[in-house]
A and B are shown apart, each in its own frame.
Chain A
């Protein structure tokens, strides 16, 4: 497939190419919505069936870290939006700067997530044979209401790790894309005329942010008032 400058050979015009990329990206994001949608449905049905275990499981999560991470990710979305703005206005230095800021914030998010995961490992809250809920948590009056508390709490943590893990995986992919963008941007590839890759990665990054906007209340904020 030959290519002339930014234009790939099977397209007629740069506009056509940009339009295709944008449309393709949006369709891809819709498939991502449905992909996460399946897990959200599994979460809803399982939570509805095991309210007690889910509430107690949620209360073992570190709300402070979760809230900070929400802020960090939202901030990274802001810097990403600014990078796209810098692209549209042709401010090449600012593109690079905002992309680096976004990458740093994304890194902080993943770092905090790692700390949280490590804590779960320490406290045997990772689903599997060594899964164990501390006795003082189970002794809560509510725990008795659920006869098979341990199994059901494990269900909560399976979903917690499944959903946040999948989200983190998307973050890692996003970080990889950002590194690529930063390198290209430092070479001055992106101008007011051609900045499609920045825009596309931006869309992806915002989508990952939106997933977290839902994950945060669903995982961290169940029945907080009773603790």
Chain B
């Protein structure tokens, strides 16, 4: 396993992006978007989390096995949320 060394400049770029996105998400909370407020907030959060995972946690440069573990873990969490919420969403269907 030879590790890829990321330059500090890239890290600096990432952290600045994360800070800007934090400001954006706070600002967006004050804009009236109806049900889309929560969607925007979660999309921004997911984007931020992806940056952290890919660069700070080096997953972009990691072996395929690590990438698979990350994807599988997130996918599994998605299944837990999706299949449970599917029950709640379809209870009023007839």
Contact = CB atoms under 8 A, between A and B. Distances in A.
Check A-B contact in the complex, CB < 8 A.
yes
A26 B29 CA distance: 33
Given A34-B80, A213-B45, A85 B37 contact: no
B66 A45 contact: no
Interface residues of B, number: 46
Nearest to B17: A74
B44 A217 contact: yes
B32 A210 contact: no
Nearest to A16: B1
A164 interface: no
Nearest to A29: B73
Contact of A34 (B1, B19, B31, B77): B77
B15 A75 contact: yes
A224 B30 contact: yes
A160 B48 CA distance: 21
B57 to A, nearest CB: 5
Nearest to A210: B49
B69 A26 contact: yes
Contacts of B66: 22-23, 26
A142 interface: no
Nearest to B31: A225
B45 A214 contact: yes
A70 B48 CA distance: 12
A30 interface: yes
B76 to A, nearest CB: 7
A37 B80 contact: yes
B26 interface: yes
Contacts of B86: none
Ranked 9 nearest A-B pairs via Cβ = A30-B73, A217-B41, A78-B15, A221-B29, A224-B29, A37-B77, A81-B56, A210-B49, A74-B18
